[in-house]
Structure 1
Amino acid sequence: MGIAEETCDGITVVETHNAAARNAWILVAAQSLGGASSPIIISLGGLVGQQLAADPAAATLPVSMLNLGLAVGTLPAAVIMRRFGRRAGYVLGATIGMTAGLVATLGILQASFAVFCIGTFMAGLYSAYVQSYRFAATDGLVGADRDRAISRVMVGGLVAAVIGPQLVIWTRNVLPDHAFAGSFLSQAALAMLAIPILLSLRRPQRSIKTSTDGSDGRPLSRILTSPRYLLAVATGVVSYGLMTFVMTAAPMAMVGHGHSVDSAALGIQWHVLSMFGPSFLTGRLMARFGKERVAAVGLLLIGASALVALGGLDVAHFWGALILLGIGWNFGFIGATAMVADCHAPSERGKAQGANDFIVFGTVACASFFAGSLLHSSGWTTINWLVLPAVAFILVPLVWRAASLPKIN
């Protein structure tokens, strides 16, 4: 395909490709900043909740509000970006993220649990925009270029996994007599830094026009009752739900068993690194072995993480469990996402994927809240024992499904 080839608008394919590739790198930087918000809240939300909540069982409510904000914000974010464009939507999201950090800081300064939870909920709304950066990176690209663009954005997730926990360590005592307030100020600063980066996004012209028959495909009720779709959604719910269930409780469990806040933050850092690190290989593994088989291995790794956690209470047990949990989430959730993509026609993409995200992130919000209540009432051991039957419940039909598929050469 030569440089002289043009689109119907007179824009060359090369120009379109270059604009899209430039956007991908901009989104890498934005992901590095915006993706650090969630690790900060996950590392500290439960600990701040323990300080501010009147009921210890509600300690993980701030993390639950983060996940609830993500679930609630997914569909409105899509509508806003569809109407006003990705750049306007992402700048709005970063503005919400900056405000979220300031509100959470205010909640700590005023010792107001409600205000702090509002701040973490707003951070979830910001995360709804950040979650779509990997899809935006593919705009104007086709084929292998799309895969490379997604991989680049995942590099931003790795950087965010380092930035977030390190900021917790560096800034948690910046404001005297208000532990952790400085960390949430740094969260606001990261979102503010993302705004000028996002303003440099440009909408690439389309080099290939697509045609549709105007059909919206099957009604959502029929999609939701499809066995393949239900298994795919259930795999995502269990993979993401169990990961959140254990990850939310882990920092409080570590501190409760005599480990330092820094150790807890570093444990979350290793966990988030293990969540994003395998992404460069996951696509190849799915192409080689099949997405159902990769998702099944992910669930097995999540089960293995629970067994490691049950093996002891040393830092090594906590960190080892969190690392296995992250890798298991990567295989399980990405495999489930690819399974969902196989269950709908292009015209059904919006409603099928939107319903999946709403179910998954709604469940995640419930799991994060239940984790705090269960940790307070029954302890870290009980949380990890509950992981095993949940894994088995989905693993059995998933393995049956994988065994029924032809082997990939």
Structure 2
Amino acid sequence: MNPCRAGQTTLRGNTMKTPVHINNVAVLASCQALYNSGRTLTFLSAVLSGANMLGDDQRLATLPITMMIIGMASGTIPAAQLMHKIGRKWGFFLGSMIGTLGSFICVVGLLVDNFFLFNLGMFVYGLYSAAAQQYRFAATDVAPENFKAKAISLVIAAGVVGAFVGPWTTGLTKDLLIGAEFAGAFCALSAFTLAAGLIILWVDIPLKTEQKGSDTGRPLLLILTQPTAVVAIISATFSYVIMNLLMVATPLAMRIGYQHLFFDTQLVLMLHVVGMFAPGFFTGNLINRFGTINIVLAGTLLQIIAICVALSGTGVTFFWVSLLLLGIGWNFSFTAGTRLLTQVHTPAEQGKVQGTNDFIVFTGMAISSIFSGTLYHFFGWQWVNMAAIPMALLIIASAVWLIFVKRTNNPSTIT
């Protein structure tokens, strides 16, 4: 029995958090911190590794990130369905072991200077990433209603650790293996994934009775065509696509385009990841206070401001401010979108709805990552930013539409 069960308190009206809830959030937050440390490491190392391998033709420099995201998109629905059948703990554990294998393949690819093998490793690592996307959903599985938004935001907030550990580890290990820049960093990545697999064994989320039956709930299309579900998916998908489009191109723009120092590139990505995850310590409270839709709108406006800053100059300071605001905006919109999605499904429908949502999100990310490198190669950094503006306007339009829909149906439910 998990030791955290000792002293478990009784829920009063499903509003009181217990030691089990606190333990689960702590375990999931630790795994999220390790995952985001590895994620920051890969976004910094994989793009520059691709650039090293390809030489002057940088059109496919972002392909390793694209392969990772394709792996994520490919694995989202299987990961969600697997956890639906065998539970969160063993689904996460299996995902972590797959991530360790993918990291090792990346190391081999770099050592033998094989671009195909390196991309294969990134794809396999992406399968682990698909499972890791469920950390935020797992935090709400047994949480009382008034703790759900905070549980999501706290797990996401733990990713702020990655803002420091990821870039610092990259700088420390990138030249560890002589003759293969960044191979040492991917050795560190395998350590992160292995540690996450061991820590997750302490999570205590029982397989729900609703999961054990044959009832799978309403048809998926019926669930996803609800106005709230539509806006949840749009806000989560396009806030992530905007962030990914700019973040993937940043190392190329800074190091290759504008010849900024590697240290400055590290620092910019560090500030960006801080912006992505530090607000998670209070985003849940903001959602509870101001409403989910308002936080979606606030996050999108911050992303638009970030784009305007990026278009204003190419000095290091402009990158600092832009990427920091971009991260904060993503946090607001993505966390709120995640919270919206939890409002449209029952426990029996959870696996297929969350898996489909993540599949849509990461398919969009895969397209944006390869598009980012190609757009940067042919048109430059300015056009990468301008390409994100229509997507931000779409999020705003969808959120305003949902406000009108809810006001028409029930004025008291605009949250």
Superimposed CA distance per residue, residues 356-376 of structure 1 (whole angstroms, 9 cap, x where no aligned partner):
211111111110110000000
* Counterpart Cα distance in 2 of 1:91 and 1:397: 37
**Which among 89, 108, 111 is matched to residue 109 of structure 1?**
111
> 1:269 Cα deviation (Å)?
1.5
1:42 is paired with a residue of what secondary structure?
helix
Mapping for residues 302-321 of structure 1, pairs under 5 Å: 302-321=303-322
Aligned pairs, number: 398
Deviations along 1:246-281, one digit per CA (max 9) or x if unpaired, are 111011101120112222122111111111111122
Alignment of 1:290 with 2:291, yes or no, is yes
- The reply on whether 1:75 has 2:77 as its aligned counterpart is yes
Q: Secondary structure at the match of 1:194?
A: helix
1:49-64 paired onto structure 2 within 5 Å: 49-53=50-54, 55-64=57-66
For residues 197 and 339 of structure 1, do their structure 2 counterparts lie closer, same or farther at Cα, with a shift above 3 Å needed? closer
- Give the TM-score of the pair, scaled to structure 1: 0.88
In 1, Cα distance between equivalents of 2:282 and 2:43? 26
Change (3 A) 1:308 1:377: same
> What one-letter code is carried by the residue in structure 1 that aligns with 2:64?
P
2:223 match: 223
Q: Distance in 2 between matches of 1:351 and 1:82?
A: 9
Going from structure 1 to structure 2, the CA distance change for 1:306 and 1:116 (only over 3 Å counts) comes to: same
- Counterpart amino acid of residue 369 in structure 2: S
Distance 2:85 2:292 in 1: 33
Offset of residue 290 of structure 1: 1.9
Q: Secondary structure at the residue paired with 1:56?
A: coil
Q: Please state how far the C-alpha of 1:200 moved relative to its aligned partner.
A: 3.8
Match for residue 376 of structure 1?
Answer: 377
Higher mean C-alpha displacement, 182-191 vs 333-342: 333-342
**Kept after mapping to 2: 8 A contact 1:11/1:205:** no
Question: Aligned partner of 2:363: which letter?
Answer: G
The one-letter code sitting in structure 1 at the alignment partner of 2:129 is S
Q: Say which of 163, 166, 181 aligns to 1:164.
A: 166
Distance, in Å, in 2 between the alignment partners of 1:257 and 1:150 is: 38
Alignment TM-score, normalising by the size of structure 2: 0.86
1:93-145 deviation per Cα after TM superposition (whole angstroms, max 9, x unaligned)? 22112222211111111111111111111221111222222333445443445
SS at match of 2:178: coil
The change in CA–CA distance for 1:136 and 1:377 in structure 2 (over 3 A counts) is same
Counterparts of 1:379 and 1:192, CA distance in 2: 38
Identify the range of structure 1 (127-136 vs 40-49) with the bigger mean alpha-carbon deviation.
127-136
Please say if residues 77 and 352 of structure 2, whose CA atoms lie closer than 8 Å, have aligned partners that are also in contact.
no
Following the alignment from structure 1 to structure 2, what is the Cα–Cα distance between the partners of residues 365 and 194?
Answer: 24
Unpaired segments ≥5 residues, structure 1: 1-9
**Kept in 1: contact 2:77–2:358 (CA 8 A):** no
SS in 2 for 1:36: helix
Q: How far is the alpha carbon of 1:26 from its aligned partner?
A: 2.8
How far does residue 205 in structure 1 lie from its aligned partner after superposition? 8.8
Matches within 5 A, 1:256-295: 256-295=257-296
The superposition leaves residues 163-216 of structure 1 with CA deviations (integer Å, 9 ceiling, x where unpaired) of 11110111111122211111111111222233332334455598xx77999754
Task: Give the direction of change, closer, same or farther, for the CA distance of 1:322–1:344 in structure 2 (3 Å limit).
Answer: same
Query: 1:14 is matched with which residue: 9, 17, 22?
Result: 9
Contact 1:35 1:130 in 2 (8 A): no
Structure 1 counterpart of 2:254: 254
- Measure the CA separation in 2 of the matches of 1:299 and 1:357: 19
- The answer to whether the 8 A contact 1:140-1:205 is kept is no
| 2:7/2:19 contact within 8 Å kept | no
Residue type of the alignment partner of 1:14: T
- 1:395 is matched by which residue type in structure 2? I
Distance 1:15 1:99, change over 3 A: farther
Identify the range of structure 1 (84-93 vs 289-298) with the bigger mean alpha-carbon deviation: 84-93
The Cα offsets for residues 277-309 of structure 1, whole Å up to 9 and x where unpaired, read as 111222222222221121111111111111000
CA distance in 2, matches of 1:334, 1:155: 10
Q: Secondary structure at the match of 1:111?
A: coil
Task: Write out aligned runs for 1:2-401 (5 A).
Answer: 13-14=8-9, 17-53=18-54, 55-144=57-146, 146=148, 149-203=151-205, 216-255=216-255, 256-401=257-402
Cα distance change, pair 21–111 in 1 and its aligned pair in 2 (3 A): same
**5+ residue gaps in structure 2?**
12-17
1:272–1:359 Cα change, 3 Å: same
The answer to whether the Cα contact below 8 Å between 2:228 and 2:402 also exists between their aligned partners in 1 is no
- CA distances 1:39-97 after superposition (whole Å, capped 9, x unpaired): 11111221111122375211101111111111111122223333333332222222112
Distance 1:30 1:301, change over 3 A: same
Residue type at the aligned position of 1:249: A
Greater alpha carbon shift after TM alignment, 334-343 vs 18-27: 18-27
Residues 344 and 20 from structure 1, CA distance in 2 versus in 1: closer, same or farther, beyond 3 angstroms? closer
CA distance, structure 2, for counterparts of residue 37 and residue 361 of structure 1: 17
Letter paired with 2:184:
G
RMSD of aligned residue pairs (Cα, Å)? 2.9
Could you tell me how far apart the structure 2 residues matched to 1:23 and 1:184 are? Answer: 28
Whichever residue aligns with residue 44 of structure 1, its letter is S
Letter in structure 1 aligned against 2:252: M
Given that 2:243 and 2:326 are in contact with CA atoms closer than 8 Å, whether structure 1 keeps it comes out as yes
CA change 1:210–1:119 in 2 (3 A) is closer
After TM superposition, the structure 1 stretch with the greater mean CA deviation from structure 2, 102-111 or 371-380, is: 102-111
CA distance in 1, matches of 2:185, 2:110: 11
Distance 1:77 1:228, change over 3 A: closer
Q: 1:211 to 1:106 in 2, by over 3 A?
A: closer
